[in-house]
Chains A and B, each alone.
Chain A
């Protein structure tokens, strides 16, 4: 198999000028804007982020615990046609995730029909027997999904991971766009970019649409945070703020007679919809972890009584578990009836003997992951790993194969990125956000692009030196502005010469 260049999302497969024809305007902007000017703007954006306190805590570091995620000034861009096809796949996948959760905590048809091994679900740590049989209001469990994707060509997207619990990162989508609008306004004249700032409104609509039936015409919605020491606190406050709803902590809520109330300066006020950013484990000490001080005792009882909607529903971890992930194509087909429009990355389940054999024979070419790991920890990237690292993983795989999956290393797409020596291609991934309410499924035209800032690196996690970029979704194919009029001229000329030739041939 010949090794082809990684696809650069702006420059195309060649990786060098000229850029992809539809992105000529962006290419021009990159070529015309001096490097020091790009750097100046990037620094201005980072200063703003620091002042706003868009920081995250780095685990395992005692000092300098507040950091911002590096921001890169060069946006990544999706053409309208690419985005439309991608959206269809996302909607299909999220619909399947919701159908799967409804089924698993209900009739369990998918297990009865043998599509999934029952022990993989029922014996899974992420499966919550405590909530089996409880139906969420309006039958929706995964209201907010973040689907992590990688790309290898213009229309070649692969799902890396589903996030159906409490996917984070949406504040970066919105703040990065704010920064780009302020620092690079000329880009938005050249390119017609779909707005992302309606996200908080859409989220609030989604929350209201799944309020319990008895909530009345103006359900009270809140965002539940573990508190301001949590690494994603900025996002919690940002979302509550931009929706105009209260940001509450566990101690602000009490449950009385299966109804949830919040403590205000005027007394208790009933709460109908909770967007919680607390993990299941800590949600309700009466049901999950007894030692949780973050949660609300009695919350699950109120949920079971149908008096409150919890977003996302408890128990969703079973849908985005890495062991379940490898079955997603079958899951989509089972509920949707059609083949999955968005493929998975090919995944070897090491619990299966034939897969394990293949993985052990091909370790230097594969990425090996812990089924229950996250954040880029507990991971082997074969092509860049040392011999010793590979041997360590080999031993671990033989000892506990069921804990691992393996995937081929893909030629991940790149986007030009500001590096020490100037603009250079860097690998990116993408997390679009998909909202599911009782009124349908919506994909917000944008998302979180993470970029591996180290040359050649495939690890984009912020805890491992990753950064972010703005993600443009264009509202029309081909570029607008000067680029569009150029191509239009070209077309007219060609047509003219064609008719001349025809005349001459006759």
Chain B
């Protein structure tokens, strides 16, 4: 079946918004653990960095709310006055999903609708356990959505959802690393100190890689290893390398189906070739921040090329 350009666009954005909602709840969860459940509460710093990662720090400052757990969690989950909250992302995901109901399976749609319904009657965020319950509920539904997408017909519809997810995931991981890089590569502080441990675990938790890290690296928590894991390891689903490869694969599936290649294919393949050659030691030596900034920019350019190639940009 021919896919409408509008449908392709909605599916792609649906993928991006679901992924973003999932990412924000993970940030919230990891920050709660870092601040509230840790033996050494990280306090304001933790919450302010959660806002920076999700690029909502300016909006939050404007709202005039205090930098406390309750206020930040509320801002990042329920507040729809700015585009960076979980509820906003889920509403946009649901709107897009509604517009393309026909392209989604029933399971995929109900997962999104149920995720949105979690917030239907939520006026406040409650305490820590209520927040963690909410996080768990959202993660359940996004996992359900993920599973449903993988059980859908392997056709253009699923590819566009997954393409949106892969592009968004690449962006999110790069942002997470960029904001936390001063923790990973502290200036003038002894690497491996006790404070770092909680912070690093936060990063790994956000990308669900705590266990994966233990499997892959046997020499304890080290900055170089965390960077290696999240930048170059293709077997780690949320790494930059894995996201980059997935974008190439999905675009390849689409090209085989439509019989035509375009600007986005070329860009994605070039990026993959470069990423494959990248060594984490070189990235650290030449500057992680610069590397991540240019990665984020290139990802945005690829996003634009995808829109043009499939006539929805």
Which residues of A lie under 8 Å from residue B109 when comparing CB positions? 52-53
B8 is an interface residue with CB less than 8 A from chain A: yes
Q: Let me know if B113 is at the binding interface, CB within 8 A.
A: yes
Partner of A265, one of B3, B101, B102: B3
Assess A265 versus B5: contact at CB under 8 Å? Given A51-B114, A52-B109. Answer: yes
Q: Which residues of B contact A227 (CB under 8 A)?
A: 99
Residue pair A263, B311 in contact (C-beta under 8 Å): yes
- Contact between A264 and B110, CB atoms less than 8 A apart: no
CB atoms of B99 and A248 under 8 A apart: no
B80 to chain A, nearest CB (A): 14
Q: How far is the CA of A234 from the CA of B98 in the complex (A)?
A: 8
The number of chain A residues touching the other chain, given as a range, is 20 to 34
B-binding segment of A28-36, A101-109, A238-246, A285-293: A238-246
Residues of B within 8 A of A53 (CB): 98, 101, 109, 113
Chain B residue with the shortest CB-CB distance to A53: B113
Q: Can you show 15 pairs from A to B with CB atoms below 8 A apart?
A: A51-B114, A51-B117, A52-B106, A52-B110, A53-B101, A53-B113, A246-B1, A246-B4, A252-B5, A262-B2, A265-B2, A265-B156, A265-B310, A265-B312, A269-B2
Interchain residue pairs A-B with the least CB separation, the first 9 = A237-B101, A264-B2, A228-B98, A265-B310, A241-B102, A247-B102, A240-B102, A228-B99, A51-B110
Judge if A489 is at the interface, Cβ distance under 8 Å: no
Considering the complex, give the chain A residue whose CB is closest to the CB of B160.
A265
| A251 CB within 8 Å of chain B | yes
| B98 CB contact (under 8 Å) in A233, A241, A266 | A233
Interface size class, chain B: 20 to 34
Instruction: Flag whether B258 is at the interface (Cβ < 8 A).
Output: yes
Residues of B within 8 A of A266 (CB): 2-3, 258, 260
Give residues of chain A (209-257) contacting chain B, Cβ–Cβ below 8 Å.
Answer: 227-228, 233-234, 237-238, 240-241, 244, 246-249, 251-252
Q: Knowing that A50-B117, A244-B1 touch, tell me 6 more A-B residue pairs with CB under 8 angstroms.
A: A53-B113, A246-B102, A252-B5, A263-B4, A265-B2, A267-B311
User: B276: shortest Cβ distance to chain A, in Å?
Assistant: 28
0/1 string, B113-136, CB within 8 A of A gives 1: 110010000000000000000000
B2 in contact with A246 (CB, 8 Å): yes
Residue interface bits B253-287, CB-to-A below 8 A is 1, else 0: 00000101000000000000000000000000000
Residues of A close to B114: CB separation below 8 A: 51
- B4 touches which one: A51, A233, A244, A252 (CB < 8 A)? A252
Chain A contacts for B146, CB-based, 8 A: none
List B residues at the A interface (Cβ < 8 Å). Answer: 1-8, 95, 98-102, 106, 109-110, 113-114, 117, 156, 258, 260, 310-312
Contacts A240-B102, A251-B6, A252-B6 hold; do A265 and B311 have CB atoms under 8 A apart?
Answer: yes
Tell me which residues across on chain B come within 8 A of A248, comparing CB atoms.
4
Q: Separation in Å of the A194 CB from the closest CB of chain B?
A: 24
CB of B259 to closest CB in A, whole Å: 8
Q: How far is the CB of B226 from the nearest CB of chain A, in Å? A: 39
Closest approach, in angstroms, between the C-beta of A312 and any C-beta of chain B? 21
Query: What's the Cα separation between A269 and B4 when bound, in Å?
Result: 10
Complex Cα–Cα for A50 and B114 (A): 9
**Within the assembled complex, what's the spacing in Å between the Cα atoms of A269 and B2?**
8
Please report the C-alpha to C-alpha distance between residue A52 and residue B100 in the assembled complex, in whole angstroms: 14
Query: A50 — which chain B residues lie within 8 A by C-beta?
Result: 117
